[in-house]
Amino acid sequence: DADVTQTPRNRITKTGKRIMLECSQTKGHDRMYWYRQDPGLGLRLIYYSFDVKDINKGEISDGYSVSRQAQAKFSLSLESAIPNQTALYFCATSDLRVPYEQYFGPGTRLTVT
Q: Which residues in this chain contact another protein in the complex, by CB under 8 A?
A: 1, 31, 33, 35, 40-45, 48, 58, 90, 92, 94, 99-107
d(CA 49, CA 54): 5
Quick count: other Cβ atoms within 10 Å of Cβ 16?
A: 10
Q: Which is nearer to another protein, 19 or 23 (CB)?
A: 23
Q: Which is nearer to another protein, 63 or 95 (CB)?
A: 95
Alpha carbon 100 to chain centroid, angstroms: 17
Tell me the three state secondary structure of residue 59: coil
Q: How far is the CB of 88 from another protein (least distance, A)?
A: 10
Asked if residue 39 lies in contact with residue 61, where contact means CB atoms within 8 angstroms, the answer is no
Q: How far is the CB of 107 from another protein (least distance, A)?
A: 6
Q: How far is the CB of 80 from another protein (least distance, A)?
A: 27
Q: Which is nearer to another protein, 3 or 79 (CB)?
A: 3
d(CA 11, CA 54): 28
